[in-house]
Structure 1
Amino acid sequence: MNVFRNCRNPVLPVDLHIPDPEAHVMPDGRVYVYGSWDQEENIYCSREYRVFSSENMIEWVDHGVSFESSKVPWVHDEHAPKYEGVDWTKPTPFLKKMIERDTKNGKLEIPTFPDDFLFAPDAIYRDGQYYLYFCMPDSTEGVAVADNPEGPFHSPVQLPCGGIDPAVFIDDDGQAYYYWGQFYAHGAKLKDNMVEFEEDSVMKNIVTEEEHFFHEGSSVRKRGDTYYFVYSSMKRGKPTSLAYAISKSPLGPFEYKGIIVDNDGCDPESWNNHGSIEEVNGQWYVFYHRSSQNRQQKRRLCIEPIFFNEDGTIQEVPMTSQGAGKPFELHEKIEAYRACELSGSVYIAPLEDGEERLTNITDGDEVIFRYVDWKIDPSEILIDAKGTGEIIVFLDDKTEESGRIVIKEGQITDSSFTGSLGKHELKLQFRNPSNLEMLALHFC
């Protein structure tokens, strides 16, 4: 077990790539985050799950591995039950766009995964036990149990459905519900054993691509008398946004309402999103992931506070660097990998010693940090960088420069900056770079 402090985005240490976060406040009052684990270089997920928890969204505990696919008995069992999953031979409208995007030489290049990989999970507490729901590349889904929220989970049982991205929810009356699916989300009532479905309770296509822009990643919460169905959305052309639909019933009908957060621009290759919403210590948050290293994979846990309107709708929030914490203050180090929005070819990747930096910088590339908050006027900006080039500083949406830094072979040779009090979005624009890489910055 490892303990660390961080309230910024990304939340976890830079070598831990945990996407698809499902966050739940468990009976001990701590919030636990269950997700996949991108351990490989060019493929989603892996053979293990890892659990993290926090009492205050600042101090986090890494509980280590909670479950391994080697414990799943049906992975290589050709006689295990098979249930209908995604039919790739009958593409939906948005899937056709994906096919066009990924088709090479007239043939659809469908990603393949090892049979024993674990995709996005969910978890819940009931009657003294914790249930971990999981799914695998062959469209089988299952549930394992544990005596503690962090696991280890054991005794997996196969569920009577096929697909990906399970979600579990228990209503105020004690009735449990299960959701699953890609392109079309399905739901059913769970029996008290949390494995079997109530007869005749299965509802197909309660959230769909055509009506709700649903892609994958079901997640259900309740606030007041309203049920929120959160999911990865194709509303903006690719599934980088988390959207939501609402209902007065846990199995719908659900009405599309909008987008909560969009990770488009977090990395040049950003492709998907997956997450959840949860109330922690009186504040609601959205838990989601962002890509890194110029890959669709290597996704990282991020958190943003969210806010509800009087009518129950959720205000869309931008990606930030500050995450669940306060804006960066004067003299505070801002690591380059906390940049929340990138444009151009620049991306975030590790150095040989594991420290991360902004790299592959070309002329005109830009990065954004949200937010800084200065109680006194800063007069200087210091940059930790390698290589040569100029960095132009802009505050908020202003077009006039607030500062300019000239770097030659990693040393600042000329610098000017004029800041102002208050909270600001910080944008850096790179000009005339030559092997330029940036590690950190701070203001004084």
Structure 2
Amino acid sequence: MKEYKDCRNPVFPTNLHIPDPEAHVMPDGRVYVYGSWDQEKNIYCSKEYRVFSSENMIDWVDHGKSFDASLVPWVYDETAPKYPGVDWSKPTPFLKKMIEKDTKDGKLEIPKSPKDMLFAPDAIHKNGKYYLYFCMADSSEGVAVADKPEGPFSDSIQLPCGGIDPAIFIDDDGQAYYYWGQFFAHCAKLKDNMVEFEEGSIVNNLVTEEEHYFHEGSSLRKRGDTYYFVYSSMVRGKPTSLAYATSKSPLGPFKYQGVIVDNDGCDPQSWNNHGSIEEVNGQWYVFYHRSSQNRQQKRRLCIEPIFLNEDGTIQEVLMTSQGAGRPFGINEKIEAYRACQLSGCVYIAPSKNGDEVLINISNEDEAVFRYVEWEKEVKDISIEGTGSGEIFIFLDNDEDASGSITLKEGQMVSSSFNGHSGKHEIRLQFSKVNNLEVHALCFRG
């Protein structure tokens, strides 16, 4: 078990790529995050899950491995039941438009995964037990059980459905609902044992691509008498946004409402999003992921506070560097991998010494950090990096730079800066670049 203190975005250390986060406050009062794990460079997810928890959204405990694919016997059993999943060879209308727009030959290459890879999970508590719902790369789905929210989970049982991205929800009356699917969301009622479907209870096309821009990643929560269906959405051309639809019943009909957060711009190759919302200590948050390393994979857990209007709709939030934590202050080192918005060729990846930095920088590229907060005027900025280049520093939406700095090979350089007190977005703009890498920055009063 490891502890991570004073976490911002991305939440965990740079060697932990945890996407597809489902967050639940469990009976002990802590919030637990269940996600998949991008361990490989070019393959989604891995053959293991691990669980994380927090009591304050800032300090996190890594509980280690909770489940692995060796505990799923039917994946290796050719006689096990097979249920149809998604046929990617027949793209839906939205996906077809995206393929035509974003590829040169009109073909979308989906990375091949071994059939025993564990994709996105979810988990819930009922009657003193904890149930982990999971899916495999072969489109099979199942459930495992534990005595503790962090596992270890065991005694896997195959569920009578095929697809990806299971989600579990228990209503106030104790009835459990199981959601899954891609392009078209399905739902079934669970029996009280939480491992079997009620006969004849499956509802198809609960949320669809055509009506709701649904792509994948179902997640359900309830607030008052309103049910919130959160999912990866195609509304902006590719599934980088988390959107939501609402209903007065867990079985719909659901009405599309809008976007909660969009990770477009976190990385040049950003492809999808997947997450959830949860109320923790009286505040609602959205849990989502951002990719890195100029890949669709290597996705990381991020968190943003969210705010609901009087009519129950959710205000869209921007990606930030601070996440659920505090803004960066004066004299505080801001690691370059905290950048929350990138434009141009620049992306976040390991440098030669293993630290995650801004690399592949070209002229006119930009990197944004949200937010800093200064109690007094800032008069100096220092930047660590390698290579050379000129860096202009902008506050918020200002057209004129508040300072600039010229970085030379192997130096940490300081320069004068004109920054007034308050909370600000920082935008770096690059020029005269020659093998430039940015490792960190710091503002001083």
TM-score normalized with structure 2 length? 0.97
SS of the residue aligned with 1:337? helix
2-structure distance, mates of 1:412, 1:102 = 39
Which one is further off, 148-157 or 191-200?
Answer: 191-200
* Match runs of 1:48-67 below 5 Å: 48-67=48-67
Closer, same or farther in 2 for the Cα pair 1:201/1:367, shift >3 Å? same
Residue type of the partner of 1:208? T
1-structure distance, mates of 2:357, 2:252 = 45
Closer, same or farther in 2 for the Cα pair 1:208/1:321, shift >3 Å? same
* Residue 141 of structure 2: aligned partner: 141
Does the CA contact (< 8 Å) of 1:227 and 1:249 recur in 2?
yes
* Residue 46 of structure 1: aligned partner: 46
**Structure 1 position 92, deviation (Å):** 1.1
Which one is further off, 196-205 or 20-29?
Answer: 196-205
2-structure distance, mates of 1:414, 1:423 = 22
* Residue 376 of structure 2: aligned partner: 376
SS of the residue aligned with 1:137? coil
1-structure distance, mates of 2:43, 2:101 = 18
1:189 counterpart = 2:189: yes
Residue type of the partner of 2:63? H
* Residue 420 of structure 1: aligned partner: 420
SS of the residue aligned with 1:74? helix
* Residue 351 of structure 1: aligned partner: 351
* Residue 10 of structure 1: aligned partner: 10
SS of the residue aligned with 2:258? strand
Residue type of the partner of 1:4? Y
**1:169-228: CA deviation from partner (whole Å, max 9, x where unpaired):** 000000000000000001111101112111222110000000000000000000010000
**Structure 1 position 353, deviation (Å):** 3.2
1-structure distance, mates of 2:414, 2:138 = 58
2-structure distance, mates of 1:382, 1:91 = 49
Cα-Cα RMSD: 1.4
Residue type of the partner of 1:380? D
2-structure distance, mates of 1:136, 1:6 = 34
SS of the residue aligned with 2:96? helix
2-structure distance, mates of 1:166, 1:412 = 48
Does the CA contact (< 8 Å) of 1:240 and 1:270 recur in 2?
yes
Residue type of the partner of 1:132? L
Closer, same or farther in 2 for the Cα pair 1:104/1:412, shift >3 Å? closer
Closer, same or farther in 2 for the Cα pair 1:307/1:413, shift >3 Å? closer
* Residue 363 of structure 2: aligned partner: 363
SS of the residue aligned with 2:161? strand
**Structure 1 position 101, deviation (Å):** 6.0
**Structure 1 position 387, deviation (Å):** 1.3
1-structure distance, mates of 2:343, 2:270 = 12
Closer, same or farther in 2 for the Cα pair 1:304/1:229, shift >3 Å? same
**1:32-51: CA deviation from partner (whole Å, max 9, x where unpaired):** 00000000011110100011
**Structure 1 position 412, deviation (Å):** 5.5
Does the CA contact (< 8 Å) of 2:362 and 2:431 recur in 1?
yes
Which one is further off, 246-255 or 4-13?
Answer: 4-13
**1:327-385: CA deviation from partner (whole Å, max 9, x where unpaired):** 11111111100000000111111123331111111111100000111110000001111
Residue type of the partner of 1:425? E
Closer, same or farther in 2 for the Cα pair 1:183/1:377, shift >3 Å? same
* Match runs of 1:42-441 below 5 Å: 42-100=42-100, 109-411=109-411, 415-441=415-441
Does the CA contact (< 8 Å) of 1:103 and 1:109 recur in 2?
no
Which one is further off, 407-416 or 200-209?
Answer: 407-416
Residue type of the partner of 2:212? H
Does the CA contact (< 8 Å) of 1:406 and 1:412 recur in 2?
no
Residue segments in structure 2 that go unaligned for 5+ positions in a row? none
**Structure 1 position 393, deviation (Å):** 0.6
SS of the residue aligned with 1:97? helix
**Structure 1 position 90, deviation (Å):** 3.5
Does the CA contact (< 8 Å) of 1:102 and 1:109 recur in 2?
no
**Structure 1 position 411, deviation (Å):** 2.7
- Runs of 4+ displaced beyond 4 Å: 101-108
**Structure 1 position 102, deviation (Å):** 7.6
* Residue 32 of structure 1: aligned partner: 32
SS of the residue aligned with 2:206? strand
**1:67-114: CA deviation from partner (whole Å, max 9, x where unpaired):** 000110001211111112113344210222354468776766343210
TM-score normalized with structure 1 length? 0.98
Closer, same or farther in 2 for the Cα pair 1:402/1:102, shift >3 Å? closer
Does the CA contact (< 8 Å) of 1:363 and 1:431 recur in 2?
yes
SS of the residue aligned with 2:76? coil
Residue type of the partner of 2:32? Y
Closer, same or farther in 2 for the Cα pair 1:326/1:102, shift >3 Å? closer
Closer, same or farther in 2 for the Cα pair 1:107/1:305, shift >3 Å? closer
SS of the residue aligned with 1:7? coil
Closer, same or farther in 2 for the Cα pair 1:346/1:221, shift >3 Å? same
2-structure distance, mates of 1:106, 1:357 = 33
1-structure distance, mates of 2:273, 2:305 = 17
Does the CA contact (< 8 Å) of 1:122 and 1:168 recur in 2?
yes
**Structure 1 position 18, deviation (Å):** 0.3
2-structure distance, mates of 1:351, 1:282 = 40
SS of the residue aligned with 2:73? coil
1-structure distance, mates of 2:413, 2:60 = 40
**1:151-182: CA deviation from partner (whole Å, max 9, x where unpaired):** 01001000011110000000000000000000
Does the CA contact (< 8 Å) of 1:320 and 1:370 recur in 2?
yes
Does the CA contact (< 8 Å) of 2:380 and 2:414 recur in 1?
no
1-structure distance, mates of 2:414, 2:54 = 43
2-structure distance, mates of 1:45, 1:227 = 29
Does the CA contact (< 8 Å) of 2:383 and 2:414 recur in 1?
no
SS of the residue aligned with 1:342? strand
1-structure distance, mates of 2:323, 2:240 = 18
Which one is further off, 240-249 or 105-114?
Answer: 105-114
